[in-house]
Amino acid sequence: VSRAEPLDLLDEAHSGSRVALARLLTIVESGGTRHRELVAAAYAVPPPYVLGLTGPPGAGKSTLVDGLIATGLEVGDRGGPLPEIAVVAIDPSSPFTGGAILGDRVRMQSHATDERVYIRSMATRGHLGGLSLAVPDATRVLGRVGFALVVVETVGVGQMEVDIASAADSTVVVLNPGWGDSMQANKAGLLEVADVFVVNKADRPLVRETRRDLEQMLDLGESRPWRPPIIETIATSATGVAALWAAVNDHRSHLEESGELATRRRRRTREGLIGVLAAESRARSRALAHGERFEAAVDAIAEGTIDPYRAADELLD
């Protein structure tokens, strides 16, 4: 394990060192003192644009990300082609970063050796707030070293995966034709976070029915200034990927022009601070749960001279 200082690593990563960048993201995963030093620097610069992708396993997210990377590097945004793009891949259900994520890297292999693309799978190795805090921290570190766009891809459809992917500026929900049957459990959650819908594998049956279902659900929902478009893609042949890229850029323009981007980011900042407060106070209470004062409190409760609630208050104060 490198003992290089986070600020030195930031300089090296900013100059293009992928080794330094990998170490920085390991620091994010690990939490601790160096993490604190790192986030102090990372949060001092504006965040990158974060694009979240979520949807059920096997929907084709990684292949779509592969296509989006190609389009982003070629077409880019209003500022022209993007010089580089980072991908953060998350599989919170896996205790290791292997499994599905290694599969992702294979599926994204057209960019595996492209030095303009940085792909990183993330796990928590000690970060006190888990992935829901580690991923935003990682995007800020990537922004700090110069990435203008970070794609966060989550594998799985639990609420946690959806929450992580939707802590993005624009969230793409990737479905397949006929998805509704297999996805009842978290349908509402997915629908609520979508800024853009993708019906991938659009060469399969039931595309029209799936589109109609989504349209109906959007009709039933609250009317909002932005109605999520539904983009049909066949990721394996890059069909529709340019349209998806354009839809994401449209959403971004909408957010910027309406002022909604600032509103969303402030809401995320609030939620992030609440998450850090909870994690920090959890860590503090754990630190109080041993040692002399703690054992004395246990004795006092056992003797009946204090109840556990007053004892906890005295330890916390």
For the bound state, the minimum distance from the C-beta of residue 180 to a second copy, rounded and expressed in Å, comes to: 27
Which residues sit at the interface with a second copy, rule CB under 8 A?
36, 39-40, 42-46, 265-266, 269-270, 272-274, 276-282, 284-286, 288-289, 294, 297-298, 301-302, 304-313, 315-316
User: Among residues 209 and 313, whose Cβ is nearest to a second copy?
Assistant: 313
| Look-up of token digits 């990183």 | 120
What distances in angstroms separate CA 200 from CA 37, 80, 118, 254, one per listed residue? 42, 27, 24, 24
Identify the bridge partners of residue 6 per DSSP, sorted by sequence position: none
What six digits make up the tokens of 83? Answer: 């010089």
The minimum distance between CB 47 and a second copy, in angstroms, equals: 9
Smallest distance, Å, CB 294 to a second copy?
7
For tokens 């290791």, name the residue.
96
For residue 271 the two structure tokens come to: 């939620």
The residues, any chain, with a CB within 8 Å of residue 189's CB and separated by 6 or more, are 159, 162
Closer to a second copy by Cβ: residue 164 or 183: 164
Minimum gap (Å) between residue 302 Cβ and a second copy = 5
Nearer to a second copy, 120 or 127 (CB): 127
Q: How many CA atoms lie within 13 A of 197 on its CB side?
A: 25
Q: Measure the CA–CA gap between 101 and 91, rounded to whole angstroms.
A: 7
The distance of closest approach from Cβ of residue 316 to a second copy in the complex, given in angstroms and rounded to an integer, is 6
Contact 104, 62 (CB under 8 A): yes
In the bound state with a second copy, the residue whose beta carbon lies nearer, of 31 and 55, is 31
Give min distance, CB of 262 to a second copy, in A: 8
Q: Tell me how far apart the alpha carbons of residues 102 and 100 are, in angstroms, rounded to a whole number.
A: 6
Nearest to a second copy of 191, 315 (CB atom): 315
For a second copy, which is the closer residue by CB, 209 or 295?
Answer: 295
Q: Between residues 114 and 271, which has the closer beta carbon with respect to a second copy?
A: 271
User: Smallest distance from the beta carbon of 96 to a second copy, in angstroms?
Assistant: 22
Nearer Cβ to a second copy, position 7 or 277? 277
What is the Cα 313 distance to its own chain's centre? 36
Which helix (H) or strand (E) segment holds residue 85: the answer is strand 85-90
Long-range contacts of 101-110 (CB under 8 A, 24+ apart): 101/155, 103/62, 104/62, 104/153, 104/155, 107/62, 107/63, 107/66, 108/62, 108/65, 108/66, 108/69, 110/66, 110/70
In the complex, what is the shortest distance from the CB of residue 110 to a second copy, in angstroms, rounded to a whole number? 36
